[in-house]
Structure 1
Amino acid sequence: MDKDRIAGSAEDFAGKVESTVGDMAGDAKAQAEGRAREAAGTVQNLYGQAKDAARDATDTAVSYAKDAIEHSGDTIRSGQQTVAKTVQENPLGALLVAAGIGFALALLMTRPPRRPPPRWRYYG
């Protein structure tokens, strides 16, 4: 829990007490100061909550990144083994897939560039 959340909650509570005392005493100035203090405490509490959420999100992202780095070699090896096994079991299918990918890449690389649309000019 962030210190801003604690301070904000305390400020919010103090503002409510001051506002209530102002209500009972009929003092409009104390009432307004209490409401302003309460609003400032609420804002500070929300700021602390945002900081906590950002810290939690950062910790989670770091944890996921560490796990990905630790297990990346296993994942790559597993994928390579799966591809090798599939190619060994079905060499014709693998050859057709590779040929299709090569054909698609060749089409993309030899395609003429797009021309911009003609511009209409008004000579009037």
Structure 2
Amino acid sequence: MENDRIAGSAKDFAGRVEGTVGDIAGDAKTQAAGRIREATGTAQNLYGQAKDAAREATDAAVNYAKDAYENSGDTFRDGSQAIAKKVQDNPLGSMLIAGGIGFALGLLLTRPPHHPPQRGRQRL
């Protein structure tokens, strides 16, 4: 529990007591001071709750990232094994797919760059 939440709850309680004493005594100044202290305590308590929620969300995100990082090696290894099994089961299909990918990459890399027409110069 955050210190702001504890202090805020204490101020909130003290403000309620002070406001009640002001009500009973009929002292508007004490009553107003109690309401102000109560509002300040409530705000501080809410601030502490927000800090706790942010800390919990950050911790959850860090734990999720650690788990993902630790399991990434297993995922890569499982994927590699699955691809190796597919290649062993169907070597001809695998060669055709690899050849198609190579052909597409070759077309992309050897294509001349596209130049837009120049403006400002007119042909006669």
TM-score above 0.5, yes or no:
yes
Equivalent residue, structure 2, for 1:25: 25
- Paired with 2:115 and 2:11, the residues of 1 have a C-alpha distance of 65
Equivalent residue, structure 1, for 2:120: none
Equivalences, count = 116
After TM superposition, the score normalised by the length of structure 2 is: 0.72
Amino acid paired to 1:59: D
Larger radius of gyration: 2
Query: In the TM superposition, what is the alpha-carbon distance from 1:100 to its structure 2 partner?
Result: 6.9
Q: 1:88 to 1:12 in 2, by over 3 A?
A: same
- Paired with 2:92 and 2:80, the residues of 1 have a C-alpha distance of 18
Amino acid paired to 1:55: R
Q: 1:112 to 1:18 in 2, by over 3 A?
A: farther
What whole-Å deviation, never above 9, does each CA across 1:64-99 have from its counterpart, x for those lacking one? 222222222111111111122223334455456553
Alignment partner of 1:82: what SS? Answer: helix
Identity %: 66
- Paired with 1:84 and 1:11, the residues of 2 have a C-alpha distance of 67
Are 2:71 and 1:71 aligned? Answer: yes
Unaligned runs of 5+ in 1: 115-124
After TM superposition, the score normalised by the length of structure 1 is: 0.72
Unaligned runs of 5+ in 2: 117-124
- Paired with 1:17 and 1:35, the residues of 2 have a C-alpha distance of 9
Equivalent residue, structure 2, for 1:15: 15
Are 2:39 and 1:44 aligned? Answer: no
- Paired with 2:17 and 2:34, the residues of 1 have a C-alpha distance of 7
Equivalent residue, structure 2, for 1:6: 6
RMSD of Structure 2 on Structure 1 (CA): 2.9
- Paired with 2:15 and 2:115, the residues of 1 have a C-alpha distance of 68
- More displaced 10-residue stretch of structure 1: 22-31 or 82-91: 82-91
